[in-house]
Structure 1
Amino acid sequence: MVNYLISAYSVNPYKGSEDSIGWNWVLQYEKNYKEGDRIILLTKKFNEKDTRRGLKEFNIQHVELVIVDVPNALNWFREKHSAFHHMYYILWQHWAWLWVKHSGIHFDVIHHVTMNDYRIPSELYKAKGAKVIWGPMGGAQVTPRPLKVYEKNQLVASFREFVNKSCSWNPFYKKALRSYYKIYCINNETQKQISRIVGKDVPLMPELALRDEYKTFLFGKETTIFSKSFL
């Protein structure tokens, strides 16, 4: 009997991108459900209508939906001003952590699946006694110098690179990463950066769902297998 928490800021069965990634994790947890397990999906209010509809339509019987959102006074700008998106995400993560802290539920496994932003780790690593997993995530990629001239907004790109580098200097960021049970990365650049910070190798995992027939590939002498279990 295991208590699972899926932390999915973005989740929607009818959309693509991050929303689809979050939903595919819901499907996988449902698929691997064992009798006695408890699976809770934690997301924001903006996702509620479509997610409830999807749980019924796709016959998801073992996933409980919990909605957490920031106070209305801080919530009004979320869908009106995209510039505040990351600010809202940081606030949502804090309220998600407060819900976990005061829920009275001992979670054995907490998996933060979306958003997968290298620069903003989830606060859920603070949960005592839980195996907290982050990822697969990315975002530490840097545009090669010869290609920078083609970037749409070079000022924004330069600022993004600065923020990426500053993560490795931030003691709070490093403490958070070293507190996770496991971290998965979606690309080599992020993997190298995270490995340097935590002081050990971290595995790669694709963030997109794959059909069963594509689970095993042979690349020369190396065989890569995508396994159901990642704990």
Structure 2
Amino acid sequence: MGERRKVLMSAYACEPGRGSEPEVGWRWATEMARYHDVTVVTRANNRSVIEAALASMPPPHPGFLYYDPPAPWVRWKGRGVPVSVFYALWQWGVRRKVAPMLGGFDLVHHVTFNSFRQPGYWWQRQPPVVLGPLGGGQICPWAFLPGFRSRLIPELFRSLTVLSAPWWPQLHFSFRSAAVILVANADTARRIPARYRSKVRTLLETGVTPEQVLPLRPVRRDGPVRVLWVSRMEKIKGGTLAVAAFARARRSEPRLRLSMVGDGPDAGAVKAAAVRLGVASAIEWHGRVPRDQLPFLFQSHDVFLFTSLRDTSGNALLEAMAAGLPAVTLLHHGQAEIATDETAIRVAPRDPESAANDLAGALVTLARDPGRRQRMSEAARERVIRFYVWPRKAEVMNRIYQEAWDAGAAAGGSGCAKG
């Protein structure tokens, strides 16, 4: 396994069992603790959940440092201070808290939040710094923005910050100091200023556990063809696009059925679209379901529909592939890199009308071709096993750490705190 070294990991979001970024922070911490002596600095309000989980896990465990800004800032966050402002304050405070300890570590690894616009304040050469995997470089296709309605201005503002970020001085400090800059997708890689791109490596920020890789089941050849959509219902997830595509597909293939799993601020609009398009009775609405029920849903459906209009990766798509579901997706952002033409039919998101038509055509194609569904099912599961299970990803990250140490040594620093 090699020499164990001391790694300081910055993971604002780090909680087991939560999904999304908290789960990403937790998985990187626990997986890399198998290779090195990892100390994670995270939010103080994560402490009880983390310590309960550690008590039931076999060693080796990561160690944890807990930090929150002064109490007034925590209260102000609960009263509407933007998360990005609070997070920047947290990162600055963490940097000051651990500054006296940095000489005791061999490497600093910034993990979460994974936005390339806020990679922390690790502006030192030694110990070497690994950033990421960073995401957030995606922009919702402009043609879809009019459908955002009340969310149009926030989404437009976010898009403008993504476009302007490469000129922010603090990002140049971070990228100049980093030994390696990991990015989760090609969109984010393009946002890294050209002078730092020699440091850029691509690695998806998330993964699945070996337990989430499910046995393949025989493809159903008769009866209804069941399509599954899983996401939080908000504008960027494209719920109304999914319903529009399903409605058009049903005109050609009435055997299709759709299950929509998730809840959120856009749920009313999605359900209203289903009523307007005359397909509400062909849709099963599950609302939000516990994570331990998702494997059953994956295995009881035939096709996975993923319509996110802006996403660093797409955890639900990855989990569906691990369960052997062939997919219909948009050909952009993280989903374009997770899925391939062997595992999904991928549709260019040119505009809402053409995307709905093309997604509908893809659903009809898969509904009528069980042999293709079988081949895609096998390829999807194999791709996850090869690239996206957490132990495999940890092997890759360990090689990235070694690259950072080698770069630090070549730059003339020891990059090592023996203990």
> Which TM-score band (shorter chain)?
0.7 to 0.9
Question: Are 2:32 and 1:29 equivalent residues in the alignment?
Answer: yes
Q: Which whole-Å CA distance do the structure 2 matches of 1:22 and 1:145 have between them?
A: 31
Instruction: Answer with 1 or 2: which has the greater Rg.
Output: 2
User: Following TM superposition, by how much is the alpha carbon of 1:199 offset from its aligned partner in structure 2, in angstroms?
Assistant: 4.2
TM-score (norm 1): 0.85
Q: Which whole-Å CA distance do the structure 2 matches of 1:165 and 1:147 have between them?
A: 18
Question: Are 2:126 and 1:129 equivalent residues in the alignment?
Answer: yes
Q: Which whole-Å CA distance do the structure 2 matches of 1:215 and 1:65 have between them?
A: 30
Aligned to 2:79: 81
Question: Are 2:18 and 1:15 equivalent residues in the alignment?
Answer: yes
Aligned to 2:116: 118
Q: Unpaired runs of 5+ in structure 2?
A: 211-381, 402-419
Aligned to 1:97: 95
Name the SS of the counterpart of 2:204 in structure 1: coil
Q: Which whole-Å CA distance do the structure 2 matches of 1:76 and 1:132 have between them?
A: 32
Aligned to 2:69: 70
What pairs up with 1:161-172 in 2 under 5 angstroms?
A: 161-172=159-170
Q: Which whole-Å CA distance do the structure 2 matches of 1:192 and 1:74 have between them?
A: 34
Question: Are 2:52 and 1:53 equivalent residues in the alignment?
Answer: yes
Query: What amino acid maps onto 1:107 in structure 2?
Result: F
Question: Please, what is the CA RMSD of the aligned residues?
Answer: 2.2
Q: Which whole-Å CA distance do the structure 1 matches of 2:17 and 2:386 have between them?
A: 28
Query: What amino acid maps onto 2:138 in structure 1?
Result: Q
- Structure with bigger helix share is 2
Distance 1:105 1:199, change over 3 A: closer
Q: Which whole-Å CA distance do the structure 2 matches of 1:119 and 1:4 have between them?
A: 23
Distance 1:197 1:51, change over 3 A: farther
Aligned to 1:221: none
Name the SS of the counterpart of 1:11 in structure 2: coil
Name the SS of the counterpart of 1:7 in structure 2: strand
Q: Unpaired runs of 5+ in structure 1?
A: 218-224
Query: What amino acid maps onto 2:118 in structure 1?
Result: I
Name the SS of the counterpart of 1:77 in structure 2: helix
Query: What amino acid maps onto 1:53 in structure 2?
Result: A
TM-score (norm 2): 0.49
Query: What amino acid maps onto 1:161 in structure 2?
Result: S
Aligned to 2:205: 207
Q: Which whole-Å CA distance do the structure 2 matches of 1:91 and 1:60 have between them?
A: 33
Name the SS of the counterpart of 2:104 in structure 1: coil
Equivalent pairs counted in the alignment come to 218
Aligned to 1:6: 9
Q: Which whole-Å CA distance do the structure 1 matches of 2:169 and 2:87 have between them?
A: 21
Deviates more, 1:69-78 or 1:208-217: 208-217
Query: What amino acid maps onto 1:12 in structure 2?
Result: E
| Percentage of matched positions with identical amino acids | 24
Q: Which whole-Å CA distance do the structure 2 matches of 1:42 and 1:53 have between them?
A: 17
Deviates more, 1:156-165 or 1:99-108: 99-108
Query: What amino acid maps onto 2:386 in structure 1?
Result: T
Distance 1:172 1:12, change over 3 A: closer
Aligned to 1:190: 188
User: Following TM superposition, by how much is the alpha carbon of 1:179 offset from its aligned partner in structure 2, in angstroms?
Assistant: 1.2
Q: Which whole-Å CA distance do the structure 1 matches of 2:16 and 2:186 have between them?
A: 29
